[in-house]
Amino acid sequence: MAELTAFERGVIIGGWLFEHSEREIEAKTGHPKSTVHDTIERYYETGGGTSRPRSGRPPILTDRDKRHIVKIVRSNRQHSARQIHHNFVQSSGTVASLSTVKRALYEAGYHSRVAVRKPLISEKNRKDRLQWCKQHQKWTDEQWKKVIWSDESRFTLFQSDGRTRVWRLPKEKYELTVLFQQLNMVVEE
């Protein structure tokens, strides 16, 4: 069950101070009798309505640190987790492990995925190809037999053959702005 807020604790303690029974407070607040009882006991022990300190290590990253990590990812989605970690430690001065940085990315919804490939066809090339198709639409089989096909060869002009990985949110897979951002990064390298 979730921890009571300061206001909820105050309502329970206020009910008790106005001499309502634990069962009456339970009925009015909807909290279990054990919770009501423990809250009142803690009030008499400590003189306040605060909860006990939690055990365990406090988190290293603040909300600001997590936003900073996301900003680093958005600036270049092709950085590896190690590069993101290095940039974060250098720019923020916060000492955090690689797994902590990855966990922050996962919590923000970012995952490393293979980039969606998009053909490098300009608007002019699209129009030229469409015009070529219309011109050759009614060719006979004899005319097509005279064509030398080069589809067995593959040429890469702008990017490597290897898979490119990017950090993205699930909804961004086919979002054009993200695709163009990924594409520009591939072309620049």
Judge if 66 and 94 occupy the same domain.
yes
Q: Identify the band that residue 155 occupies on the pLDDT scale cut at 50, 70 and 90.
A: low
Whether residue 138 lies inside any domain: the answer is: no
Whether residue 140 lies inside any domain: the answer is: no
Structure tokens of 163?
A: 């898979």
> Angle at CA 32, nearest 5°, toward 31 and 38?
100
- Tens of pLDDT, residue by residue over 26-76, are 998 999 989 899 888 888 888 776 766 778 888 899 999 999 999 999 998
Judge if 11 and 63 occupy the same domain.
no
Report pLDDT for 186: 46
Report pLDDT for 175: 67
List of long-range contacts for 41-44, beta carbons under 8 Å, 24+ apart: 43/13, 43/16
Cβ pair 187, 179 in contact under 8 A: no
Judge if 83 and 108 occupy the same domain.
yes
Q: Identify the band that residue 1 occupies on the pLDDT scale cut at 50, 70 and 90.
A: low
Percent of the chain with pLDDT over 70: 81
Segment 9-36 shows an average pLDDT of 90
In degrees and rounded to multiples of 5, residue 114 shows phi and psi of -70, 130
Judge if 31 and 69 occupy the same domain.
no
What is the pLDDT of the chain when averaged over all its residues? 83
> Angle at CA 30, nearest 5°, toward 27 and 32?
90
Report pLDDT for 106: 94
Judge if 15 and 87 occupy the same domain.
no
Which structural domain range is residue 93 located in? 57-129+161-189
Task: Tell whether pTM > 0.85.
Answer: no
Judge if 77 and 10 occupy the same domain.
no
Cβ pair 35, 43 in contact under 8 A: no
Report pLDDT for 53: 72
Count of domains forming the chain: 2
Judge if 125 and 171 occupy the same domain.
yes
Judge if 65 and 40 occupy the same domain.
no
Cβ pair 52, 42 in contact under 8 A: yes
Segment 130-139 shows an average pLDDT of 90
Q: Identify the band that residue 188 occupies on the pLDDT scale cut at 50, 70 and 90.
A: very low
Judge if 63 and 82 occupy the same domain.
yes
Alpha carbon of residue 47 to chain centroid: 43
Whether residue 83 lies inside any domain: the answer is: yes
Encoded amino acid at 153, one letter: S
Judge if 124 and 183 occupy the same domain.
yes
Percent of the chain with pLDDT over 90: 32
In degrees and rounded to multiples of 5, residue 111 shows phi and psi of -135, 150
Q: Where are the alpha helices (DSSP H) in the chain?
A: 6-17, 22-29, 33-46, 63-75, 81-92, 98-107, 123-135, 141-145, 176-188
Whether residue 147 lies inside any domain: the answer is: no
